[in-house]
Amino acid sequence: MTQPLSNSTVQDLDNLQVHHFDALVVGAGGAGMRASLALVEQGHKVAMVSKVFPTRSHTVAAQGGINAALGNVTPDNWQWHMYDTIKGSDYLGDQDAIEFMCQEAAEIVRELEHFGVPFSRLENGKIYQRAFGGQSQNYGGEQAYRTCAAADRTGHAILHSLYQQNIHAGTHIFEEFYVLDLLKNTNGDINGVLVMNIHDGQYQILQSTHILLATGGAGLIFRNNSNASINTGDGLGMVLRAGLPLQDMEFWQFHPTGVAGKGMLISEASRGEGGLLRNSEGEAFMTKYAPHVKDLASRDVVSRAIAIEVKEGRGCGENKDHVLLDLTHLDAETIKSRLPGIRDISMTFAGVDPIEAPMPIYPTCHYMMGGIPTDLTGQVITPNPQNPNAQTKVKGLFAIGECACVSVHGANRLGGNSLLDIVVFGRKAAITISEQLKQSKSKNQQASSAQLVLKPVLERIKRWQKTTHFNQPSSQEVSKQESAGLPDSVIQIKQDLQKIMEVGCGVFRDPEAMQQAIDQLKTIQTRLENVSITDHSLVFNQERLAAYELENLVAIAHATAHSALARTESRGAHTRMDFEERDDENWLKHTLYFAEHHQLHYKPVNLTPKTHASFEPKARVY
């Protein structure tokens, strides 16, 4: 057992330890691990920092598969995949980025296979591919079988294989270290991060000229979500505090089939294997909403259909608040071999064996299409201060995976494209960083001697060390708990935040509800500034960790609500009650949100792929 620590171990924040690396990777999900592997293989001194042990990262929960036009089951080529992805994005995805991702897909999936991923197999020994929503042959023709799968545990299989390859490569991993903030030097360049060792509560500085954010999503801003509790958007919070923008934060994917009332995901693979959605009348209602592809329409379309069925009184159960996902007509062996994971989840959380009875489901917040804006190499970009219509690269800062917005998903992501995104851009960003490092070494550039600016982050640390409330909030800002005589708490603020976002920015959005959310977020902000934590111990202090995370969640909620209210059209996952149509004339553009004064800027969507004619926006029918 460890000896009890005395108070003398409280750290002197003016003399923090500094460690130097060629590159830092923040996050150890699929994106971070793919990138770290490439950087280590290139011989760089790399540290991967993660607030959880790598295989606890949320990539592990991805179920259905990863898209690549291997053509193992039906004829395929990557341009068809590209078309489907652009259409799925409701034309908000950048066509050059989508082109690059789809072009790389086949090679990157084979590479994963070489890394050991236990893909399911076809009779001829090739990788098994299944049908998924929004995937077609020949630019909108017959259903494509493009989604490469390891049963319905594809994320688990990929994440574990990438971790295993990182073991083989000898990657240096800071496990259970939390990154608080990016550090700039006095020249204004980002040049390191400040981390807290969760095990002992000690802070240190990791210094590097190249920092790659791979911190995943932030679904925890919504009450009902399919996300892991670690998905608090830490990288996004860091970027906002560094004065950089977030892109397209109004676009959140509600996955059609979460376990009703709970939110755990039931993979799209269940419909890919032939499952049908039914309402209280037993009707397979998707025929009304997507006559051609029915249950395999893209996710925004299916989620809206479910919400409409329930709203119009055809919901199931005592409260008529969900619909059913029916697999009972499928062969029991198919369910056992292709969908064992979702059978487990359904039996555990809904008490239903899908072989015998349909599963109760309702849309659940699943994926953040927006994020940190980057170019095709994963390098973070921001409007040029001299010319706000042009974008400029942020020196040394990269972002990949769900925390990034490159943008390959636009207004709505297709199932199977998220696992693809993380490995394609994970590898690309690592190669780019590696080239930059080699160039600066060959030019014999000295590391900048400019001092790191620590004041803002140290103030943040000290703010949570205080043991008492700062100011008493005004009477209207008193929370439910305080009016009951209890002090406000980090947990209570987080729960209230999640309810505000659920009401204000859910599947259907009306302007009054969004405005109300913005107003309520002001109160949340004030409460966050005033609340204190009760636990001030050093070892595994989860209340302090939750406080840091909450700061990120609140910042992201602001970004979402402001971006959503401003966009007066319906596109992809953003569905306005007052503007029901897509408006390409005014809104075929990306939102950029800055935390300062909640400012919004816009930039054009890329419509010019390198090797293919532009896909002009047209009506989206499934």
Mark out the alpha helices in 531-607 (DSSP H runs).
542-566, 584-587
Three-state DSSP class for 488?
A: coil
Based on the shown chain and the rule CB under 8 A, indicate whether residue 127 belongs to the binding site for another protein: yes
Token digits for 597? 């004064």
Based on the shown chain and the rule CB under 8 A, indicate whether residue 3 belongs to the binding site for another protein: yes
455 phi, psi to nearest 5 deg: -55, -50
Q: Which of 36, 50, 57, 253 binds another protein (CB under 8 A)?
A: 57
Name the residue nearer to another protein (CB basis): 5 or 621: 5
Instruction: Confirm if 343 and 386 have CB atoms less than 8 A apart.
Output: no
Name the residue nearer to another protein (CB basis): 161 or 570: 161
Q: Distance between CA atoms of 34 and 130, rounded to whole angstroms?
A: 24
Binding mask 178-207 vs another protein (x if CB under 8 A, - otherwise)?
A: ---------------------x--------
Instruction: Confirm if 192 and 63 have CB atoms less than 8 A apart.
Output: no
Based on the shown chain and the rule CB under 8 A, indicate whether residue 52 belongs to the binding site for another protein: yes
Restricted to residues 583-622, the positions that interact with another protein (CB under 8 A) are none
Q: Distance between CA atoms of 133 and 297, rounded to whole angstroms?
A: 5
Only one of the segments 260-268, 325-333, 445-453, 521-529 lies at the binding site for another protein (rule: CB under 8 A); that segment is: 260-268
Strand order in the sheet with 177-184: 17-20, 202-207, 190-197, 177-184
Cα dist. 587→32, 389, 583, 603 in Å? 33, 16, 6, 10
Based on the shown chain and the rule CB under 8 A, indicate whether residue 60 belongs to the binding site for another protein: yes
Name the residue nearer to another protein (CB basis): 151 or 437: 151
Only one of the segments 89-97, 322-330, 339-347, 587-595 lies at the binding site for another protein (rule: CB under 8 A); that segment is: 339-347
Q: Which of 451, 540, 578, 583 binds another protein (CB under 8 A)?
A: 540
Instruction: Confirm if 145 and 269 have CB atoms less than 8 A apart.
Output: no
299 flagged as catalytic: yes
Name the residue nearer to another protein (CB basis): 222 or 615: 222
Token digits for 31? 């994106």
Q: Distance between CA atoms of 487 and 479, rounded to whole angstroms?
A: 9
Q: Which of 47, 277, 400, 490 binds another protein (CB under 8 A)?
A: 490
Q: Which of 36, 67, 147, 165 binds another protein (CB under 8 A)?
A: 165
Q: Distance between CA atoms of 578 and 553, rounded to whole angstroms?
A: 27
Name the residue nearer to another protein (CB basis): 349 or 587: 349
**Tokens 């960790």, located at residue:** 545
Nearest to 247, CA basis, from 97, 146, 76: 97
Based on the shown chain and the rule CB under 8 A, indicate whether residue 61 belongs to the binding site for another protein: yes
Based on the shown chain and the rule CB under 8 A, indicate whether residue 489 belongs to the binding site for another protein: yes
Using alpha carbons only, how large is the chain's radius of gyration in Å? 24
Instruction: Confirm if 158 and 65 have CB atoms less than 8 A apart.
Output: no
Name the residue nearer to another protein (CB basis): 124 or 476: 124
Q: Using CB under 8 A, count the residues that bind another protein.
A: 69
Identity at 196, one-letter amino acid code: M
Restricted to residues 93-112, the positions that interact with another protein (CB under 8 A) are 107, 110-111
Q: Which of 533, 588, 600, 607 binds another protein (CB under 8 A)?
A: 533
Pick the catalytic residue from 130, 223, 271, 299. 299
**Tokens 């959503």, located at residue:** 564
Residues with catalytic function: 299
Which spans of this chain sit near another protein (rule: CB under 8 A)?
1-5, 52-53, 55-58, 60-61, 70, 107, 110-111, 113-116, 118-127, 150, 153, 156-157, 160-161, 164-165, 167-168, 199, 228-230, 262, 264-265, 341, 344-345, 348-349, 351, 489-492, 533-535, 537-543, 546
